[in-house]
Structure 1
Amino acid sequence: MTEWGTYCRRTPEVGVRLTHINYAFGNVTGGKCAAGDNYAATERTYTAAESVDGVADTWDQPLRGTFNQLRELKKKHPGLKVLWSFGGWTWSAGFGEAAKNPAAFAQSCYDLVENSKWADVFDGIDIDWEYPNACGATCDTSGRAAFTNLMQALRAKFGASNLVTAAITADATAGGKIDAADYAGAAQYVDWYNPMTYDFFGAWATTGPTAPHSPLNSYPGIPQAGYYSSATIAKLKGLGIPAAKLLLGIGFYGRGWTGVTQAAPGGTATGPAAGTYEAGFEDYKVLKTKCPATGTVGGTAYAKCGNNWWSYDTPATIATKMTYKNQQGLGGTFFWELSGDTAGGELIKAIN
C-alpha cells in the first residue's frame, strides 16, 4: 500500500486475504533511512468513516495517521505482517551513499522502523533499490557487491526475528540489471525477493509498439527478448536462488497508449492514453468497465477501445499465472498495489 494513497485512494478491506503489507515508501537520504511523509504516517486525523475500527481519531492520542490504521488492521487480523519499504523509483538515488557505510545505514533503518511509538506496527523492512549498480530514475555505480553488503548489514541489525525482504529488477536480458548486482549472494540474507515482473513495456515508448506490461511468457513480436515474467524467474532460479525465496509480481493496473488503430499487440501509437492519476496508467477497477479485455497474449490480457490500447491482468490471467507460480514452487505472490483492485477485491481473490 502507498503512503500517498491516504489522500486520494480508497483501499478495499481485504485484510483477511492478505498475509503481508509493504508500506511504501520511506526515503533514503544522507546515508540513512528517513520517513517519507510524516503527516500521512503519524499525524493525519482519521474520521470514524475512514478508520479501520470505525472510531474517529482524537487530537491527543499518541499515534494517528496511517501507522495507527495499520495497528488497528493488525488487531482485526492478528496474523497480518507489515513491512516498511524504503526507496522505490523516486527515492532510490540515496542508496549509493547508504552503501558506503552499510552498518550505519542499517542502524538508522532499525532506529526508525523500531521507534517505540510504532514498533508494534512493523514486522521488518523491505528494500526497493531501483537499481543496484545500474540505472533507474538515476544511475548507480556502487559496484556489484554493494547490494549484498547492504542486505547483510540489515539482516545483522534486524536479526532473525524480523523480516528482511527486497523488491528487485525483473530484467532477464544478458548483461542486464539482474546481472549488474549479486542477487544470488544476497539471497542468504533475505526472507524473500519480490521481482517486479510488471512494467516491462509501456507508453514511455510513445509511438509503440503496443505490448503487454506484464507478460508471463514470450510471444511472437515481443519488443524485447527477456522481458517477461517466466524469463525473470528462470534467470533468478538459474543463479541458485531458491524458488521458495521468489515471489511472482502482479500489477493491479494497466498501461496504455492512444492513437492506436491495430487491435492486436505490436501496433503504433501517438502517445500515452489518458489516466486518472498519470498518463499511460490506470487502475484495474477503472479499466475493467472502461476498456474491457478483448484478447490475451503471453499469458496476460489486452484491450482495445476506441483508439486506446491497454494491457492488464484479469482474474482469468491471474489464474494462469498462479498455475505457473505453483508449478515453479515459488514462495508466493505480491502485487502493486492494493487500491487498484475492485471494492470486492476480485484480483486478490483470484490470487488467493
Structure 2
Amino acid sequence: MKFSVFSISFFLVMLLITHALLVGQECPQPVPSQFRHVKSGKVVAAYFASWGVGKYGYTVSDIEPIANKLTHIIYAFAKPDAQTGACLLRDPQADLGENFKDRERVGGLFGQLLNLKCKYPHLKVLLSVGGGTYNKNFLEIAKTGKISTFVKSAVALLDGYEYQYSIDEATCKDCLDYPGLFDGIDLDWEWDGVNPSHEQVMHFHSMLSMFSAELKKRAKHQEKKSWLTCAISVNSKLIKALKLDSVAKFVDWFHVMAYDFGGSSAAGISFNAPICNQWSNYSIDQSISLLMNLGVSPEKLVLGIPLYGQVYDQTKAKLGSAFERTEKTGAFRYNKIKELYVENPACKKTWHEKSQAMYAYCPVDEVFVSYDDERSVAAKVAYAKQKLLKGIFFWQLAGDDEDHSLIKAVNI
C-alpha cells in the first residue's frame, strides 16, 4: 500500500497532537466552575489495621503522639460473611479481648480505642467493613438478596457484639456492649478488578442507601451523628461504572485510594502515587478531576496518602524501565523503605518536580524506590486544599516511621 506525502504528514501531526493532549494537559486541572464555591475541609483520617499489632507491633497506644493531628480513625476491618449475609468481626479475641464471653467490659483493641477516645474526645472512630479480599463476598450477598441483613448487622456491630454460648446443651445468646466506641461505618467494597454489571452497580447503590437510612435511625436514637464513608478505587473504568454522583448524597465523603499507580504487576517502573503524570493518564489529579467532572463535589472527596512505597529490583533510574520480580520487589512500608534506602548513603534521593513525587535510586544494587516523604505529603495536602477537597487520609498507621514523620508533616 502506498501513502502520499500529505497522508503521512497528516498522520504525524495527529500523533503529535494526541501526545500533546496526553502529556501536556494542565496539572493540576482547575476545579469545575460549579464547585468553586466549595470550601476545603480539614479531615485528617487514618486507617488502623487490626492485624498490624501482631504483624508490625503497632498498637493503639502508638497513636497517642499524633492523636491531636487526626480527626478520624478508621478501624480495619469487619468482614462480610457470604453464607449468612451478616457482618462479622475478623478476630473477636483481638478486637474484644481474650475470653470476651466472660467479660463485663470490653477489652482488646476496642477497649484500648475507647480509652484513647476518653483522652482525645475530638476523635471519631469508624468501623471499616470489607477490604480488598472480600469482593466475592459482597457480590454473593448482593446476588442472594442479603443486603438488608448485612447492613443491619453492620450497624448493630457499632454498639455491641452478639455471640452464642451453650448451657446444658441449650444454645443461648448474649451481647458484649461497647457504647461510645464507633461513630459510623466506612464501606470498603473494592471490586478487585471486576467490571461491574448494571445490576451489581444498583446493588452497590442500594447498600449505600440502606446504610444511610440505618445510620440516620441510629443517630436519631443516640442523639448524635453517625458517619458514613466509602472507600473507592482510582480505576477510571470503575469510577465511571459506579455512577458515584448518584450516591454521593448518601455518604459524608469518599475515601479516594489514590495510590498503587505502579507496582510489581506493572510492565515497567513507575511512581506509586504521583500528583501529576506526564507519561500516562494515571495520576492523582487525573482521578480527582475525573470524579469532579462526573459530578462528584470536592466536599465529598478525601484524598488517600500511602504510608508505603513500591520497590523495583534490577532496573534503571528511568521511568518505564524493565525490572525483575525478586524478594526485593513489591510494596513496603515507609519505615522499612526509610531504613533500607532513604537513610542509605549509596542511594540517591530525588524530587521529581513534574510529577510531584519522591524516589530513590541505588545504582550499586540497581534498585528503584517510589515512596512518599515529608515533602510529598506536604505537596499532597497543598493539592487537596487547592482542589477544595474535604481533607486527606492515610493508609495505614503502621507504615509511618517511629516518629510519625509523615503524619506530622500534615498542616491542614
Smaller-chain TM-score bracket: 0.7 to 0.9
Alignment check: 8 A CA contact 1:256 1:273 kept = no
Distance 2:177 2:196 in 1: 34
Give 3-state SS (helix, strand or coil) of 2:409's partner: helix
Distance 1:230 1:103 in 2: 36
Is residue 75 of structure 2 the alignment partner of residue 23 of structure 1? yes
Displacement after TM superposition at 1:114 (Å): 2.2
Is residue 200 of structure 2 the alignment partner of residue 143 of structure 1? yes
Alignment check: 8 A CA contact 1:254 1:311 kept = yes
Is residue 292 of structure 2 the alignment partner of residue 237 of structure 1? yes
Displacement after TM superposition at 1:143 (Å): 2.5
Alignment check: 8 A CA contact 2:196 2:241 kept = no
| Residue of structure 2 aligned with 1:2, choices 49, 54, 58 | 49
Q: What is the CA deviation profile of residues 83-135 of structure 1, one whole-angstrom value per residue up to 9, with x for unaligned ones? A: 0101111123211233334322211111222226123110000001012xxx4
Change (3 A) 1:283 1:254: same
Give 3-state SS (helix, strand or coil) of 1:269's partner: coil
In the alignment, what sits opposite 2:177? 117
TM-score of the aligned structures, taking structure 2 as reference length: 0.74
Unaligned runs of 5+ in 2: 1-47, 161-175, 220-224, 343-347
In the alignment, what sits opposite 1:165? 229
Alignment check: 8 A CA contact 2:309 2:332 kept = yes
Is residue 123 of structure 2 the alignment partner of residue 71 of structure 1? no
Q: Look up the equivalent residue of 1:285 and give its one-letter code.
A: N
Displacement after TM superposition at 1:60 (Å): 5.3
Q: What is the CA deviation profile of residues 109-166 of structure 1, one whole-angstrom value per residue up to 9, with x for unaligned ones? A: 11222226123110000001012xxx43x67544322221110000000115200000
Give 3-state SS (helix, strand or coil) of 1:351's partner: coil
In the alignment, what sits opposite 2:394? 335
Q: What is the CA deviation profile of residues 235-292 of structure 1, one whole-angstrom value per residue up to 9, with x for unaligned ones? A: 11112111111011100011111111x1132211111552xxxx51211122123212
Query: Runs in 1 of length 4+ with deviation above 3 angstroms?
Result: 138-142
Q: Look up the equivalent residue of 2:138 and give its one-letter code.
A: F
Change (3 A) 1:153 1:198: same
Aligned residues: 322
Q: How does 1:192-207 map to 2 (within 5 A)?
A: 192-205=253-266
In the alignment, what sits opposite 2:172? none
Displacement after TM superposition at 1:186 (Å): 0.9
Q: Report % sequence identity.
A: 32
In the alignment, what sits opposite 1:252? 307
Unaligned runs of 5+ in 1: 46-56
Distance 2:120 2:205 in 1: 34
Distance 2:200 2:323 in 1: 38
In the alignment, what sits opposite 1:54? none
Alignment check: 8 A CA contact 2:334 2:401 kept = yes
Q: What is the CA deviation profile of residues 279-338 of structure 1, one whole-angstrom value per residue up to 9, with x for unaligned ones? A: 512111221232126223311111112222111111111111111111111000001011
Alignment check: 8 A CA contact 2:139 2:200 kept = no
Give 3-state SS (helix, strand or coil) of 2:201's partner: coil
In the alignment, what sits opposite 2:153? 108
Alignment check: 8 A CA contact 1:204 1:272 kept = no
Displacement after TM superposition at 1:184 (Å): 1.0
Distance 1:107 1:60 in 2: 25
Distance 1:119 1:102 in 2: 25
Change (3 A) 1:105 1:60: closer
Give 3-state SS (helix, strand or coil) of 2:114's partner: helix
| Residue of structure 1 aligned with 2:212, choices 149, 152, 155 | 155
More contact order relative to length (CA 8 Å, sep ≥ 6): 2
| Residue of structure 1 aligned with 2:138, choices 70, 89, 95 | 95
Distance 1:29 1:120 in 2: 25
Q: What is the CA deviation profile of residues 44-100 of structure 1, one whole-angstrom value per residue up to 9, with x for unaligned ones? A: 49xxxxxxxxxxx9x856211111111111011101000010111112321123333
Distance 2:183 2:141 in 1: 22
Give 3-state SS (helix, strand or coil) of 1:217's partner: coil
In the alignment, what sits opposite 1:286? 336
Give 3-state SS (helix, strand or coil) of 1:310's partner: strand
Distance 1:118 1:2 in 2: 19
TM-score of the aligned structures, taking structure 1 as reference length: 0.86
Q: Look up the equivalent residue of 1:7 and give its one-letter code.
A: G
Distance 2:265 2:98 in 1: 35
Name the stretch that deviates more: 117-126 or 138-147: 138-147
Give 3-state SS (helix, strand or coil) of 2:303's partner: strand
Q: What is the CA deviation profile of residues 4-28 of structure 1, one whole-angstrom value per residue up to 9, with x for unaligned ones? A: 1121322533212111011111111
Give 3-state SS (helix, strand or coil) of 1:74's partner: helix
| Residue of structure 1 aligned with 2:86, choices 28, 32, 55 | 32
Q: How does 1:185-334 map to 2 (within 5 A)?
A: 185-205=246-266, 208-220=267-279, 225-260=280-315, 262-274=316-328, 280-292=330-342, 294-297=349-352, 298-305=355-362, 306-334=365-393
The alignment yields a C-alpha RMSD, in angstroms, of 2.0
Q: Look up the equivalent residue of 1:228 and give its one-letter code.
A: S
